Amino acid sequence: MKVLMIAPPGAGKGTQGVVIAGHFGIPHIATGDLLRDHVARATPLGQQVQHLLDRGELVPDEIVLEMVREAMEQARGAGYVIDGIPRTMEQARRLYEIGLELDMTADVALHLQVEDAELVRRLSQRGAEQGRSDDEEDVVRRRLELYYEVTHPILEWYGERGILVTVDAMRPADQVGRHILTALEVMKQMTEGNRDLPRRPVDLSGLGAAFGTQG
Ligand code: AMP
């Protein structure tokens, strides 16, 4: 299974990425985690990007794409769940090229949908609990702004490629996780059984209320 996660900050990419990786037995590749690890270890790369992470700005494409290419090469044959990239249309195109080169293009682009007020609430809670410097209020505003400006528009492209699955991620994490795994299991059957059939985007965001009441 090869999954890309696309979602605004605070939507639960990290949490659900771990759930997906565990369920399918695939590596979880998170660009934000890889970059924060470099910063924590004060590597030359970490020192180069720290000010960008602190301000919620994007790190140059070359750096994140190289990181992901390396991680994808290591994951060869196993599949992946990638979280944090693509952030821009250019990254989406180049990631697709890397995927073609390695014969590892994504089966699913998983979009987690959450309203802004809830994102701000979650991020300020995480900021208080984990002290992540980019969860401070003005940086959160900048990260959300960037998401809507440059990341959100990519979704249409994945829709056209027929691999987009949108999930309502407003509910508690365990319910969202169950919903995602159900959707991905269905997609897995489809991609494995019908590789050459044209596919359509799947929008499950309207199912939120029904799933929520069933718990
Ligand atoms: P995240 O953990 O995904 O919220 O990412 C944290 C920060 O890492 C972002 O605010 C960016 O500064 C940087 N970052 C992560 N992924 C990317 C990417 N694909 N392109 C550019 N910057 C990124």
The pLDDT averaged over each successive group of 10 residues in the chain (215 residues) is 96 96 97 96 97 96 96 94 97 96 96 95 89 87 95 95 95 96 92 66 64 45
- Which atom belonging to ligand 1 lies closest to the Cα atom of 14? 2
CB burial string 133-149: b at 16+ within 10 A, e below: ebbeeebbeebbebbee
Minimum CA distance residue for ligand 1 atom 19: 85
Residue 206: inside a domain: no
Alpha helices in 6-88 (DSSP H): 13-24, 31-40, 44-55, 61-74
C-beta of 84 in contact with ligand 1 (< 6 A): yes
Is the residue at 113 inside a domain? Answer: yes
- The reply to whether 211 falls in a domain is no
Whichever domain contains 45, its CATH number is: 3.40.50.300
Look at the chain and report how many structural domains it folds into. 1
Instruction: Give dist(CA 159, CA 27) in Å, integer.
Output: 24
143 CA: nearest ligand 1 atom: 10
The CA distance from 215 to 211, in Å, is 6
In a domain, 50, yes or no: yes
pTM of the model: 0.89
Q: Give me the pLDDT at residue 75, please.
A: 93
Is 175 within the bounds of a domain?
Answer: yes
- Return the pLDDT at 194: 62
200 located within any domain: no
Reading the block at residue 34, the tokens are: 């890889």
Q: Is 12 a domain residue?
A: yes
What pLDDT does residue 13 have? Answer: 96
Ligand 1: nearest atom to the Cα of 84: 3
CA of 30 to the centre of ligand 1 (A): 9
Residue whose CA lies nearest to ligand 1 atom number 12: 53
Predicted confidence at residue 77, as pLDDT, reads 87
Decide if 179 is inside a domain: yes
Q: Specify the pLDDT at position 132.
A: 83
Q: What is the extent of the structural domain holding 106? A: 2-195
Q: pLDDT value at position 215?
A: 39
Cβ atoms of 110 and 204 within 8 Å: the answer is no
Question: Cα(14)–Cα(1) distance, rounded to whole angstroms?
Answer: 17
